[in-house]
Every structure is written in structure tokens, then in C-alpha cells.
Structure 1
């Protein structure tokens, strides 16, 4: 297999501009992640500790195997909204007693762990990751249930969580709840739908209606322990399978439960390993990824430079290197897992690139090889020449192939992801198993200047058609406002805040993140499609 040769000059002006730009964006990202890590703030953290309780992230850390990684999902979820960054819940994947699990942990320092619309979306995404990749789920529960002030936004979608927990169990995917505090109202169904439950004595409170609601509904005066305490559920209802004396014992019991699952992966393990039994690292330093990707998306860069710092041994067998050269396709491996790669070399997708990409996806499906999409595209080419050459038909071939591909997809936005190019490169609406973004990436229907210009042309044509005068000054103001709005909306932070990816990652962590994602994917069967829908020829 060919070994990629890098031509990067880290001392060049462009490389230094790229690094400076990425460092600035990463500083901003770390500041936003710090807000999520701070939970509800010093006042509520101190109150929580005064009650003798562990923080949500401490619970996660103690649950995981020592020194094992935790791949957090949506670390800046809800950024740019009225809710706190992180949406009051931690979700991610980590190793518990040697088993890769999806973990959710409510943060009780954020409004008592109550769940807002973004909380539910984030948890439901974690459930989908568990279902698609066949990963046991561990819920670290301490939540006051839904935020009743947002009931109209919550009631219908919230029911999906209980549906998904039950569906996971029916598919033989274990679900475990460790209940540290409140699990009230609809939240009571989280342990109710779980396969295994551990309740903390004098801490867990699991009931449909707490004392205030019971008094309002029936007139009965009751206390928390009688209604839903851990001891009551362990002795009377049987909802608690285990009663822990404290939080540390609850976490220990959770680890014991995972151990006795005797869980095994269905997919193959790493196969592309060196003579030492380990995957060969890339020949080039991953730190140089900050020098490679352009913060200014108008400046192109070669995705092979990225692959040289991500693939095992920097080895890459390129497919059709002389055809459709704006799209790079080929095979390599990451941490020993074989992978097909589809990467944008130049922003625009032409007819040849669309056909090349579709064919490559079919080949990966025939060989049961997962596909990594490296997005940096402005979309499919437009214009009379390309329309007459059938860009709609060819673009549809690529979208068809992506849609009906059954091998797992991992998508990484390393630049632009505009228009239908987002669809052809397995964007969020095409259900990749995982989708991550670099801080410099942008996603939109089209670039800000193009979008504002299109609206301006349409407005001018409309005025001319109606015989109205066209206000050039007002149009200039409108264009400037539109460009500024789209520029803000297309940012990685905005996209991630809305849950349109699974997290923004430091480019230097790309190989590690992709390796973890591939390992998670191989917990399930890996099998490609053997038949496709109609391709318009």
C-alpha cells in the first residue's frame, strides 16, 4: 500500500496563519466547555457537596476503568440558547470493566437536574448511538424530571426516552440505572424501563408524584421515603435490584453488573496490526494538523496531508487517483481497523466526482468496510454545461449510494459543508454513526456571500417584474445583515450547540477520536448493502 508523502512547510505564512487561527478557536471552545464542566455554578456545586454528594463528572470518572478515555458527546450542546452550555447532562462512551458503554449522567447542580428540550435531544442522541452500535447503557440518575415551564416543548418528545430504553432491552442491549437522588414524574420511568437498578439508600427518590403533587391530587400528606425511597423500593416494590449504602458502593455495584453481563462484540477486532501486535502510528506528527487545515475556507488544502497524520503508517491505497480528482477515495486503516475514505480535495463536486464517490461506496459495501467522510465541499457544480451533462442525475447517484449504504459511516467536517454536498458527504440527515467537527468548520445551505447575493438578485428581479423601484441602499444593508447572520449560524459552535454533530474536536485528537469511534462501531455486526435502489444512468 502506498505511503503518503507530506509536502507541508510548517514555517510558511499560510501554515502559521492556520495554526494561529486554530489556536484562537480552540481557546474559545475550551472556555465554552469549561462552562459546561462548571455545571450550575459555584453556589449550587457547593450546596451539592454539602449534601455529601459526588458531582456528575466525578461519578462518571469513578465508573470508568482507571486511565481509560471518555469520548464525550455534545460537550457544547445548547450553546447559543437560553439554556446553560452542556444542557445539564453529560453523555458519552467509555470503558466499564472492559466493556464499552454509553453513559448518561444528569447534573443536579443545573436546576436540580431538570430536563429542558436540549437535555432530551442530547440524551435521545446517546440512546441512538447505543442502539446502532449495540452498546450497553448506564444512566447515572439524579433528576427532577422535566422542566414543567417548558412542558409544551417536552411532553411529546420526552416519551421517546422510555420507548428507547424499552426497545434497547428488547434487542438484548443491557440498560442499567444507578439512582443517586431524585428520579421523579416521567423520570421515574428511567429505572422503570431499565434492566438493572441500583438505588442509593437515603438518597434515591423514585416516584411518579412527589409529596406536593400527591397532596394536590389526593389530599394525602406523605414523605419522600414512603413514596419512593431506596429502602422502600428494595423491600416493597422490587424496583431496586440493589440497595447501596452510599454513592461509591452504587458505582461499584454498577461496575459489577457490567462484569457479569459477559458482553462480547459482534464485529471483528483490529486486523491491520504490525508485528508488535499494535497499529503503526502515522509517519507525521498529528500536531501539524493545526498547520494544514485552512481557517479561511477560501484557501484550499490537500486532505492527503490530513490522512498522512491519521492513517496507520500513513499508508493509503488511493482509488481512481486520475479520475474525478476533486474527490479523494481509497483505503487505509486507523488503529488497526480497515476504513474506506472519501475526502473533498477541492470544494466543488463535479459529475466525475459524484460517479466516483458512488462507485466507491458500492465497493466498500461489497467488502463490509466502514467509510470515513472528510467534508470540505461547497456543493455540486452549477451552470449550463454541468446541468446539460447531468449533474442532477450524477449527484443523485452519490446521494442514493450514501442513503442505502449499510456499512457504518463516520463523518468529519474539516472545512466547509455546504448545500447538497453535505448530503452527498453523509451529513447529519443521512445518519452517520458519528459526526464530528473541527473548530474551523462551517455548515450551511451556501456561503454567506452567495446566500445574500442570491436573495438580492431575487429581490431585484421581483421589483423589476412588478415595475417597482429597487432601493439599492436598503439592499446593501440587507445583504450585510444576511451575511453577518449566516456567518454566525454556520459556525461549528452553532451547529454543535443545536446537536447537528456529536462534538467539536481538537484536530490533533482526530486519530484518537476516530479510533474510539471505530472500536464502538465494531461492537455490532459490520455488513454492507448487497442491493441498491434505482440509479439514474
Structure 2
């Protein structure tokens, strides 16, 4: 391989402008993330009075000190009201889905962890919450990881109830059964209430820890019980942790308080001996990039229409900034590279322009080659789509683009996607968008996602409207056409925003570009461990006895 020589000048005006623009977006990202923390911490006095830990304190004490942790879907639920097109909603929306989720280490074991953020709306579950839990479950299944859930939730958010959400939410419980049946440990802590359907969270877990005096699980809480049957019962008698430990058998371990519950989880995870005797040593001795990953904030312009060389991005991610350029002279707008990150082989596919016939053919070849030799693939998206025009159509753009999509769809190696800039049209598909099942997908704050560029969409709809009016023999005033065009541009532009898209759960979170190497190294290691682990599946999951 060849060590890359940068052409970026960190002291130049262009770099400084790019960096200032990107860091403005990163600051906006941090501001959105802080809304959930601030909202949760407003309940600190109430938690202290109950002698409870705040949800973030539970998570911090659960995880191994100093070990890496990857947060998932940090912005889910953002700007969901009124389709997120209302400025007032964007200004006040609290992202996160009343949940904390991520991949971290517990007693040395890599686990998926979900924590109810019960400081916000008592941890009530919304559509965003369900999506976040189910995505976390799928990640646990695909990467063969134990699933740990710290529960304290008021159940479904009735004011936000939608019948389709309730119906589809059943998958959350089915996934718990599937994880257990696949031999992946499911461990749940009852820090507080787990009501109605939520009672099946502990019911479908392999190990349940209940906090005495606080943890509760019941199919019908006291209000619903009285409404349904007229029976009056206290929540402790009906579903308290001690009752479940002494009488029903739902709880295996009774904890004195939140701290004790966290200790019991750590011990339970350690006893699984997950990966012992199977996992190989982590690669060591790899080189840092020759160029500082911090420079990623200035390498890529916030405006996707301004060109840059995606190799400059890889040079700040790959070990030693050393990589091979596959077919570098053919289909040059589509860049295919082979290198290493944190000592693990990885391929990169990036965009230096739209995907043309040669680029699509090259990418299809490269993806098949990586599948043959077992090299994971990372997609660095900045594409307005596949090329259009008479020459490209006559040259077979459809069939060549289809070859690329075929290869992406059927690749047999882990695929990871980072949306850096534009992710428009079928380019999103060819570059392994969410619909193509990448193992993980993250966005930069500069990402722009949609059917097509907003300006192109507005112009397209104007041309269509003019043609339709002409067929009807009607003349539409220019100001009306212009107003309609502006409306289409505004609609697509506001929905293209990376934060808006992430709020809908179609990625695994928005990250600071400067953390791309760290995040990629973490998910590469996660996938590598998954390939080494051999679970012990059982027929129907561990049934509660």
C-alpha cells in the first residue's frame, strides 16, 4: 500500500472556513443532545428523595470505568411533532426517545445496554422509544451481544398513542424471545415500574433483578385493575419486587437499592463468561494516521456542492494514512480503497462526484472482491446519485447501477455507512443506505438526505406543472409557479437536514466528524467479535419457571 500525501492546508482560508462551518453544526448537535440530559436532571430532587440514582448515573456505574462506549440513536424523536416542519417544535423538541442506548463493556463483556430515562415523562414509551429499543435489539442479535435493560417506565405514552405503534410494538417482545432462543443473554433490572405490556420485558428475560421497594411489574397497575375488575390493591402487593422474588418467581435477585442492582448486573454478566476461550486478542501496535483526525472538521465543506477528495477523509481515518487505490484510474469519481483501522483490514468506497457507469461497475467488482476475501466495507457517502443524460442512459447506466445495488444488497461481509454530505436519490441505495441493512450507519452533522436535491425537486415539479397546464390549455401565472416551486424546495430542504433525519431513527446517530476513526474502529471490533462468538441456542428462549 501507499502512504497518502495530503493536499489540504490546515492553515488555509478554505480549511478554516470549512472547520468553522462544521464546528457550528457540531455545537448545534451538542446542544440538541444536552436537552435530554437537562430535562432528565430536572427530576434530580425527586430521585434523591426516593434514594434512587438518576438514569445516567445508573448507566455510568454499570459500565466499566474508562472503557469505550458507543451511544446509539442520540437524536431519535427529534422534531417528530407536526412532521418536524414547525420551527417552534424544533426549538423545544427533546431528542432521545426517553431512553439511553449504546454498546459498552460490563465486567469486560461487550454488551448492548438500554436504560429507561425515567427523569423524562416517567420514562413513558413513544413511537421513537419503541424504534430505539427494537434497533438496539437487532444490533444485539446481529452482533451476538448480551442485551441488558434497566427498566423504569410508566408504560405506553397514552396521549401519543397510535394503534399502529401499539401493534408493531409487539416486535419488541418477540425480539426478547428471539435473543434468548439464539443463546444471547437477556438481563433486566426493575428499577421502577414495568407496567402492562412492559411487564413482558422482565417476563421474557433470562435474568431479572428487582430493586426492593421500588421495582414493580404488573400486567394491570392499581388504577387499571380497579377500572377493569373493581379490585383494590397496593402496587407492592400487586407487583412489587419483593413479591415477585418471594411469591411469583419473576425476580431472581432482590437488590437493596439502585447501586446494589448495578452490582448484581455486573456479576450476572461476568458469570456468563461471554466470549471466554473464543475471542482472539485485540490487534495491537497499529499506527495512528499520519494526519490528525481532528482535521476532519476542516477537510469536508458543509455545502455538499463544493468538491473535496474523499481520500483526504480516509487519510485521517486509516492506520498510518496508508491505503491502496483499487482501479484508481477507472471510474475515478467513485473511489475504492483498501487499508486498515485499529489494525483490522477494511475497505472504503467514497464519492468524488456522481456515480457514473464506470464507477458503478468498479464498485460492484470491488464489493464482490471484498466479499471473496472477507474484508468489511465502509461507505463514505457524498453523492447526488447516479449520472443521468442521453450518453449515460445509452451507455447502460441502469444496468451498471443495478450491478452495484445487487452487490451492495448481497455482500457477505459487514458493511458500515457514514453519511458525510449528500445522500440523494439512488445514490443512497448504491452507497448502502439504511434500506440495504448496513451493520451500523452514522451521519455527520453536514449530511443532507432525500429523494433528490431540493432545488432540482422544485424545478422538476415546476416543469411538470407547466406541462400539465399546457395540456389543459390553461396558463398559470409565473408567480403561482414560483410560489409552488419555493414550497417544494422548502419541504425537501427542511426534511434533508441530518438532525431531522436522525430524529426519525433512520440512522444510528449523528457523530462529530472528528470521532469517525474512533467510531469505525469500535464497530469493526464489534463485528469481528461477533464472527468469533458461538452462542448456544435453545428452542424457545429461557422460559420463566
TM-score, L = length of structure 2: 0.93
Equivalence for 2:34? 34
Deviations for 1:320-348, whole angstroms, at most 9, x for unmatched residues? 111110111121111111111111122x1
Q: Does 1:308 align with 2:319?
A: no
Correspondence 1:287 to 2:263: no
In 2, are the aligned partners of 1:267 and 1:524 still within 8 Å (CA)?
A: no
Alignment of 1:21-420 (within 5 A): 21-40=21-40, 42=42, 44-82=43-81, 84-149=94-159, 150-264=161-275, 269=280, 273=283, 277-346=284-353, 348-420=354-426
Q: Please report the TM-score for the alignment, with normalisation by the length of structure 1.
A: 0.95
Change (3 A) 1:270 1:440: farther
Give the equivalent residue in structure 1 for 2:14: 14
Q: Separation in 2 of the partners of 1:378 and 1:493?
A: 19
Contact (CA 8 Å) 1:270, 1:337: kept in 2 or not? no
Quote the RMSD (CA, aligned, Å). 1.6
SS at match of 2:173: helix
Counterparts of 1:313 and 1:125, CA distance in 2:
34
437, 442, 448: which one aligns with 1:436: 442
Residue number in structure 1 paired with 2:470? 464
Measured after TM superposition, the shift of residue 286 of structure 1 is 1.0
Alpha-carbon displacement from aligned partner over 1:168-215 (angstroms, at most 9, x marks no partner): 000001110011000010000001001111000111011101111111
Cα pair distance change 1:502/1:279, threshold 3 Å: same
The 8 Å contact of residues 368 and 526 in structure 1, kept in 2 or not, is answered as: no
User: 2: CA distance between counterparts of 1:361 and 1:508?
Assistant: 26
* Mapped contact 2:419–2:442 kept (Cα < 8 A): yes
**Matched position secondary structure for 1:522:** helix
Whole-Å Cα distance in 2 between the matches of residues 100 and 116 of structure 1?
27
State whether residues 32 and 94 of structure 2, in contact with CA within 8 Å, keep that contact through their aligned partners in structure 1.
no
Shift of 1:406: 2.0
Stretches (4+) displaced over 6 A = 265-268
- Please say if 1:423 is aligned against 2:402: no
Please give the alpha-carbon distance, in whole angstroms, between the structure 2 residues aligned to 1:291 and 1:136.
Answer: 38
What stretches of structure 2 of length at least 5 have no aligned partner?
82-92, 534-545
Matched residues in 1 for 2:325 and 2:215: separation?
Answer: 56
C-alpha distance in 2, partners of 1:174/1:151? 31
Q: Identify the structure with bigger relative contact order (alpha carbons < 8 Å, sequence gap 6+).
A: 2
Q: Distance in 2 between matches of 1:423 and 1:125?
A: 20
Matched with 2:538 is: none
Say which SS state the counterpart of residue 169 (structure 2) adopts. Answer: helix
Distance in 2 separating the partners of 1:179 and 1:119: 18
Indicate conservation of the 8 Å contact 1:496/1:503, yes or no: yes
**Equivalent pair of 1:265/1:523 in contact (CA under 8 Å):** no
Contact kept? 1:266, 1:522, Cα under 8 Å: no
Give the structure 2 partner of residue 530 of structure 1: none
Alignment length, in residue pairs?
521
* Distance in 2, Cα, partners of 1:7 & 1:380: 27
- Which stretch shows the higher mean deviation, 256-265 or 300-309? 256-265
How far is 1:239 from its partner?
0.7
1:266·1:523 contact (CA, 8 Å) conserved in 2? Answer: no
Q: What is aligned with 2:460? A: 454
Deviations 1:206-230 (A, max 9, x none): 1101111111222111111111111
Gap change, CA 1:265 and 1:75, over 3 Å in 2 = farther
The CA deviation at 1:13 is 2.1
> Is the alpha carbon distance of 1:269 and 1:284 closer, same or farther for their aligned partners in structure 2, counting shifts above 3 Å?
farther
CA shift for structure 1 position 46: 2.6
Could you tell me how far apart the structure 2 residues matched to 1:156 and 1:131 are? 22
